[in-house]
Amino acid sequence: MGKTIFRENFHQADWDEPIIYEMSTPGVRGILVPEPDQKIKDRAGDVLAKIPASLRRKEEPNLPEVSQKHVLMHWTHLAQETMGSNLTNDISEGTCTMKYNPRINEELVENTDFSLLHPEQSEETVQGILEIYSEFENIVKEVSGLDKATLQPGGGNHAVYTAASIVRKYWEEKGELEQRDEIITTIFSHPCDAATPKTAGFKVITLQPDEQGLPDIEALKEAVSERTAAIFMTNPEDIGLYNPKVDKFVEIVHEVGGLCFYDQANANAFLGVARAKEAGFDMCHFNVHKTFGTPHGGSGPGNGAFCCKQKLAKYLPVPTVEHDGDKYYPDYDRPHSIGKVRDFYGTAGVIVRAYAWVMAMGEEGLRETADISVINNNYLYRNLVEEVKGLSYCYPDNGLIRQEQVRYTWKELTDDTGVDTLAIERRIADYGIQHYWTSHEPWLIPEPMTLEPCESYSKDDLDEYIKVLKRIAEEAYQDPEMVKNAPHKAASRKRKDDNMLDDPERWALTWRAYQKKKDKIHAD
Amino acid sequence: MKKVGFIVNPIAGMGGKVALKGTDGENIVEKAKELGAEQESPQKAEMALESLKTELKEADQIKLITFPHLMGEELLKKSGLNYQVIGSIEKNNTTAEDTKRAARLMKEEHKVDLLLFAGGDGTARDVYDALELEVPALGIPAGVKIHSAVYATTPQNAGIIAARFIKGQISATEEAEVMDIDEKEFRKGRVTAKLYGYLKVPVERRLRQNLKSGSADSEERAAEAIAAGIIEVMEKDCLYLVGPGTTTRPIMQKLNLDYSLLGVDAVANKELIGLDLREADILQLLKKYSKAKIIVTAIGGQGYIFGRGNQQFSEKVLNKVGKKNIIVAATRNKLSALNGPLLIDTPDPSLNKELAGYYKVVIGHQDFMMQKAE
Q: Give A-chain residues touching B366 at CB under 8 angstroms.
A: 198, 202-204
Check CB contact of A418 with chain B, cutoff 8 Å. Answer: yes
Could you list the beta-strand ranges (E) of A224-319: 228-234, 259-263, 283-287, 304-308
Position B217 scores a pLDDT of: 61
| Residue A57 clears pLDDT 80, i.e. is over it | yes
Q: How far apart are CA A207 and CA A224, in angstroms?
A: 11
**Under an 8 A CB cutoff, do B171 and A187 touch?**
no
Position B209 scores a pLDDT of: 42
Please, what is the end-to-end C-alpha distance for chain A in angstroms? 45
Check CB contact of A187 with chain B, cutoff 8 Å. Answer: yes
Out of A449-453, B220-224, B244-248, give the one with best mean pLDDT: A449-453
**Under an 8 A CB cutoff, do A418 and B217 touch?**
no
| DSSP state, residue A506 | G
Beta bridge pairs of residue B7: B117
**Under an 8 A CB cutoff, do B368 and A205 touch?**
yes
Report the pLDDT averaged over residues B283-288. 96
Q: Closest CB to A207: pick one of B51, B205, B370.
A: B370
Position B72 scores a pLDDT of: 93
> A7-21, pLDDT tens digit by residue?
999 999 999 999 999
Give the pLDDT band (50/70/90) at residue A1.
very low
Position B210 scores a pLDDT of: 41
Chain-centroid distance of CA B363 in Å reads 20
Report the pLDDT averaged over residues B320-340. 88
Position A257 scores a pLDDT of: 98
Position A284 scores a pLDDT of: 98
Q: Closest CB to A441: pick one of B171, B213, B372.
A: B213
**Under an 8 A CB cutoff, do A443 and B172 touch?**
no
Cis peptide before B10 (omega within 30 of 0): no
Q: What region, left, alpha or beta, does residue B266 occupy, with left being phi > 0 and alpha being psi -120 to 50 degrees? A: beta
**Under an 8 A CB cutoff, do B367 and A204 touch?**
yes
Of B181 and A408, more confident:
A408
Count Cβ atoms within 10 A of the Cβ of residue B191 and give its class: 0-12 exposed, 13-18 middle, 19 or more buried.
middle
Helix, strand, coil % in chain B, rounded to nearest 5: 35, 25, 40
**Under an 8 A CB cutoff, do A418 and B156 touch?**
yes
| Residue B220 clears pLDDT 70, i.e. is over it | yes
Give the pLDDT band (50/70/90) at residue B185.
low
Which of A443, A500, A520 is the best mutation test for B, with the most CBs of B within 10 A? A443
> A306-360, pLDDT tens digit by residue?
999 999 999 999 999 999 999 999 999 999 999 999 998 889 999 999 999 999 9
**Under an 8 A CB cutoff, do A499 and B332 touch?**
no
Q: Smallest CA–CA separation between B298 and chain A, in Å?
A: 17
Position B337 scores a pLDDT of: 76
Tell me the CATH number for domain A109-356.
Answer: 3.40.640.10
Count Cβ atoms within 10 A of the Cβ of residue B132 and give its class: 0-12 exposed, 13-18 middle, 19 or more buried.
middle
Q: How far apart are CA A164 and CA A158, in angstroms?
A: 10
| Residue A299 clears pLDDT 80, i.e. is over it | no
Q: Smallest CA–CA separation between B18 and chain A, in Å?
A: 28
> B133-147, pLDDT tens digit by residue?
889 999 998 877 677
Helix, strand, coil % in chain A, rounded to nearest 5: 45, 10, 45
Q: Give A-chain residues touching B171 at CB under 8 angstroms.
A: 497, 499-500, 503
| Residue A499 clears pLDDT 80, i.e. is over it | no
Position B212 scores a pLDDT of: 36
Transcribe B128-159 into DSSP letters.
HHHHTTSS-EEEEE-SS---STTBBSSHHHHH
> B78-131, pLDDT tens digit by residue?
998 999 999 988 877 788 899 999 999 999 999 999 999 999 889 999 999 999
What is the crossing angle of helices B155-166 and B41-56, to 10°?
Answer: 40
Position B214 scores a pLDDT of: 45
Q: How far apart are CA B75 and CA A346, in angstroms?
A: 69
Position B191 scores a pLDDT of: 61
**Under an 8 A CB cutoff, do A503 and B371 touch?**
no
Position A80 scores a pLDDT of: 93
CA-to-CA separations, A474 to A76, A394, B76, in angstroms, rounded: 35, 22, 33
CA-atom Rg of chain B in angstroms? 21
Per the CB < 8 A criterion, the answer to whether B303 and B335 are in contact is no
Position B182 scores a pLDDT of: 73
Q: Closest CB to A223: pick one of B168, B169, B370.
A: B370
Which of B370, B371, B374 is the best mutation test for A, with the most CBs of A within 10 A? B370
Of A190 and A502, more confident:
A190
Size of interface A-B (CB pairs under 8 A): 87
Among A218-227, A456-465, B241-250, B302-311, the minimum mean pLDDT is found in: B302-311
Check CB contact of A204 with chain B, cutoff 8 Å. Answer: yes
Report the pLDDT averaged over residues A414-440. 93
Q: Closest CB to A502: pick one of B168, B215, B368.
A: B215
**Under an 8 A CB cutoff, do B369 and A208 touch?**
yes
Chain-centroid distance of CA A191 in Å reads 12
**Under an 8 A CB cutoff, do B358 and A219 touch?**
yes
Percent of chain B with pLDDT over 90: 51
Give the pLDDT band (50/70/90) at residue A432.
very high
- The CA angle B238-B239-B245, to the nearest 5 degrees, is 130
Chain A residue with the nearest C-alpha to that of B372:
A219
Instruction: Write the single-letter amino acid at A477.
Output: Y
β-pairing, B2-8 vs B62-66, is parallel
Give the pLDDT band (50/70/90) at residue A166.
very high
Q: Smallest CA–CA separation between B188 and chain A, in Å?
A: 33
Which of A:482-501 have CB within 8 Å of B? 496-500
Position A427 scores a pLDDT of: 97
Per the CB < 8 A criterion, the answer to whether A424 and A450 are in contact is no
Mean pLDDT, chain A, whole residue set: 93
Check CB contact of A107 with chain B, cutoff 8 Å. Answer: no
Q: On the CB side of A365, how many CA atoms lie within 13 Å of its CA? A: 11
Percent of chain A with pLDDT over 70: 98
* Sheet of strand B265-268, all strands in order from the earlier edge strand to the far edge: B271-274, B265-268, B238-242, B291-296, B326-328
Q: Give B-chain residues touching A493 at CB under 8 angstroms.
A: none
Q: Give A-chain residues touching B323 at CB under 8 angstroms.
A: none
| Residue A403 clears pLDDT 50, i.e. is over it | yes
Q: What is the four-CA torsion angle of B16, B20, B23, B24, rounded to 10 degrees? A: 140
**Under an 8 A CB cutoff, do B360 and A444 touch?**
no
Give the pLDDT band (50/70/90) at residue A505.
confident
| Residue B19 clears pLDDT 60, i.e. is over it | no
Give the pLDDT band (50/70/90) at residue B188.
low
Give the pLDDT band (50/70/90) at residue A440.
confident
Mean pLDDT, chain B, whole residue set: 86
Q: Give A-chain residues touching B163 at CB under 8 angstroms.
A: none
Position A501 scores a pLDDT of: 76
Chain A residue with the nearest C-alpha to that of B339:
A444
- Name the residue ranges covered by the structural domains of chain A: 20-80, 109-356
Could you list the beta-strand ranges (E) of chain B: 2-8, 62-66, 83-85, 114-119, 137-141, 173-181, 193-202, 238-242, 265-268, 271-274, 291-296, 304-306, 326-328, 343-344, 357-364, 367-373
Check CB contact of A222 with chain B, cutoff 8 Å. Answer: yes
Give the pLDDT band (50/70/90) at residue A271.
very high
| Residue B186 clears pLDDT 80, i.e. is over it | no
Sign of CA dihedral A389, A391, A392, A393: negative
Q: How far apart are CA A301 and CA A521, in angstroms?
A: 33
Beta bridge pairs of residue B240: B267, B293
Beta bridge pairs of residue B361: B369
Q: How far apart are CA A78 and CA B286, in angstroms?
A: 67
Q: Smallest CA–CA separation between A417 and chain B, in Å?
A: 11
H helices within A17-151, ranges in order? 38-44, 47-50, 68-80, 103-110, 112-115, 127-144
Chain B residue with the nearest C-alpha to that of A447:
B206
Report the pLDDT averaged over residues A395-407. 92
Give the pLDDT band (50/70/90) at residue A524.
low
ipTM above 0.90, yes or no: no
CA-atom Rg of chain A in angstroms? 26
| Residue B301 clears pLDDT 90, i.e. is over it | no
Among A475-479, B51-55, B314-318, the minimum mean pLDDT is found in: B51-55
